[in-house]
Amino acid sequence: MVRTLLTGLAVSVSCLGVGHAFGGAYLGVDLGIGHASIQHKYSDVTGSGKVTKATTGAVYGAHAGYLYEIGTSKTIVGGELYGNTSSPTPSFSVGTDNFAVQGEVKIKRTMAVGGALVVGKMFNLKTMLYGRLAYEFATFEHRYSFRTTSIIPQFAGKSLKKNTSIGGAVMGLGLAYKVSRMMMAGAEYQFAGMYGRHKSVGQANFKTEIEPVEHRLLLKVSFVFG
């Protein structure tokens, strides 16, 4: 009987040594692709017009977080701080409907920083499926180039650079794998589509607004402390 108990204990310890359960602090990098779709609305004394453009490019950043298993339930909870930047830069023609184009604008999300709540479920000691809900602040850079024929006198033939900061919820779903006790890798999808519409330029004789949406697919590699 004693021998049986000792054998079982040895097997259990051995399994814990071979497995790589989730939990603890981690720090890592992200690399992937983003599909940005932005609606740009322009209005002046002649009326208003809007256009939507989409483009795809690279997304890269870093993250740090902490995970904790609730008892032996295989349910994981935690939090994560992150930041990333992206290369998609949609380009728009600026003007009102049925009137001459006033110029062009390129819009790029230069940075996003946020915090996320993570809730996951382990399939085994090495694999976890998780969801996350984050709130992030994103900065969008606008580069306007107005034509010499523009009816906006103060900017005709000139350029205007404007940065807009927007906050919004970001939902995500991911799969993580413990490569070793101190290394974790995985893939994650993020939907940043709840920013809403925000003013980007508010001059006396013309105004612009943007409504951005971004889909991100990221590969994540993390170093796990402990």
What is the predicted pLDDT for the residue at 196? 87
pLDDT band at 1; cut points 50, 70, 90: very low
- Examine residue 6 and state whether it is found in any structural domain, yes or no: no
Enclosing domain of residue 107: 22-224
Dist. CA 105–CA 212, nearest whole Å: 14
In angstroms, rounded to a whole number, what is the distance separating the alpha carbons of residues 115 and 134?
5
Q: For residue 226, what pLDDT is reported?
A: 67
List the CATH number of the domain containing 59: 2.40.160.20
Please check the confidence at residue 29 and state whether its pLDDT lies above 50: yes
In whole angstroms, give the CA distance from residue 193 to residue 145: 27
Eight-class DSSP state of 9: H
How many of the other CB atoms lie within 10 Å of CB of 133?
Answer: 12
Location of structure tokens 């990333």? 84
Judge whether 14 lies within some domain. Answer: no
Give pLDDT tens digits for 170-191: 999 999 999 999 999 999 999 9
How far, in Å, CA of 149 to CA of 202, rounded? 21
Mean pLDDT across 82-89? 96
d(CA 91, CA 103): 11
pLDDT at 20: 60
Q: Considering the entire predicted model, what is its pTM? A: 0.86
Residue 11 falls inside a structural domain: no
**How would residue 14 be classed by pLDDT, with cut points 50, 70 and 90?**
very low
Mean pLDDT of all residues in the chain?
89
The answer to the question of residue 5 being in a domain is no
The answer to whether the beta carbons of residues 84 and 57 sit under 8 Å apart is: no
Within-domain flag for 180: yes
- Residue 197 half-sphere exposure, CB side, CA atoms within 13 Å? 9
pLDDT tens, residue by residue, 125-148: 899 999 999 999 999 999 999 999
Give me the number of domains the chain comprises.
Answer: 1
Q: CA 30 to CA 21: how far, in whole Å? A: 22
Considering only CA atoms, which of 219, 190, 225, 209 is closest in space to residue 50?
A: 209
Report the phi/psi class of residue 195: left, alpha or beta, with left for phi > 0 and alpha for psi in -120 to 50. alpha
How many angstroms separate the CA atoms of 71 and 192, rounded? 33
